[in-house]
Amino acid sequence: MKPMQRRHALLAGATLAGCASSAPPVAFSLAERVAQVRAAETAFAATMAARDLAGFASFIAEDAVFVNAGTPLRGRAAVVEHWKRFYGPGPAPFAWRPELVEVIASGDLGYSEGPVTVADGRTTARYASTWRRDPASGQWRVVFDNGYALPPKC
């Protein structure tokens, strides 16, 4: 093979090798992933009504951070320890539901926000949660969470 032919063959091989190692096409739609995050948030909220602390914990990432009145709760264990007071006997002290749900283009990070209501149906706060999808299991878990009280209506 002449030097010029060898150069073209090497370039062609390098180009084909680059194509072979490129990422596979995305096998999901963003609408599907948004629906998954909405369903995860809805199921997460249902743990409060069911008084299911273990179910609540299953939706929280091991490395999660929940902002608690400006003081972060770091890790699933700290979050569950703090939140177990809301999961005692009797009716749920509050409920939440997703209104706005979005997912980034990679499909592995999502956002949910919505109202927090008390037993009489009044909205007293809003929450915002960031969700991360576990690539191995496909399960969505909360990695960041924050809520804030709304000012009382006059």
Closest CA relative to residue 142, chosen from 47, 29, 66, 32:
66
pLDDT of 16 over the 50 cut? no
Chain segment 51-96, per-residue pLDDT in tens: 999 999 999 999 999 998 889 999 999 999 999 999 999 999 999 9
Query: What's the whole-number mean pLDDT along residues 26-52?
Result: 95
Q: Would you say how long the chain is, in residues?
A: 154
Chain segment 96-154, per-residue pLDDT in tens: 999 999 999 999 999 999 999 999 999 999 999 999 999 999 999 999 999 999 988 76
Q: What is the pLDDT of residue 27?
A: 82
pTM for the full model?
A: 0.81
Q: What is the pLDDT of residue 68?
A: 85
Is 129 in a helix, a strand, or coil?
A: strand
Assigned CATH class of 28-149: alpha beta
Q: How far does Cα 45 stand from its chain's mean position?
A: 13
Domain range annotation of the chain: 28-149
Residue 110 to residue 72: CA distance in whole angstroms: 20
What pLDDT band is residue 50 in, cutting at 50, 70 and 90?
A: very high
